Amino acid sequence: MLIIREDQMEVLGNYMLNKFENALVTHLNLYFPEKCEAMGESGVREMIRHGIAQAKSYGIVIEYQVSRYINLMFMLGKDFDTDSALPWASEILLNSSFEGTFAKIETLCRAADTHSK
């Protein structure tokens, strides 16, 4: 029987998180090149880490959904979730009636799209 120790799980988790972060850096540089250039790579990585933590605080932990949340940060601002000019964002994120986080992030993205028009 294969037994994975807790420290091995931590190493694996850190590896996967780093891989996800690297993929997001590439993605963000492709879709938000000016913003990424202005922030520099360390700033982009800091924003990604902040986004991962913020998304997690709303129960959003699936990579695809976290990626969409971070895209919204780049579109609307780092703290769009608490921005008083965007009250709809916190209303959606704090709404517990959604059937899972997929519906929540999809609703949030649609609202952001409507807001940006």
Residues 6+ apart with CB under 8 A from 7: none
Q: How far apart are the first and last CA of the chain?
A: 56
Closest CA to 62 of 22, 26, 24, 102: 102
* 0.75 exceeded by pTM: yes
Chain centroid to Cα 72, Å, comes to 8
The DSSP secondary-structure symbol of 90 reads H
Using CA atoms, how far apart are residues 51 and 73, in angstroms rounded to an integer? 7
| pLDDT by residue, tens only, the chain of 117 residues | 656 567 767 767 788 889 999 999 999 999 999 999 999 999 999 999 999 999 999 999 999 999 999 999 999 999 999 999 999 999 999 999 998 899 999 999 999 999 876
User: How far apart (Å, rounded) are the C-alpha atoms in residues 11 and 17?
Assistant: 10
Helices (H), 1-100: 6-31, 33-57, 63-76, 87-94
Note the maximum CA span of the chain: 56
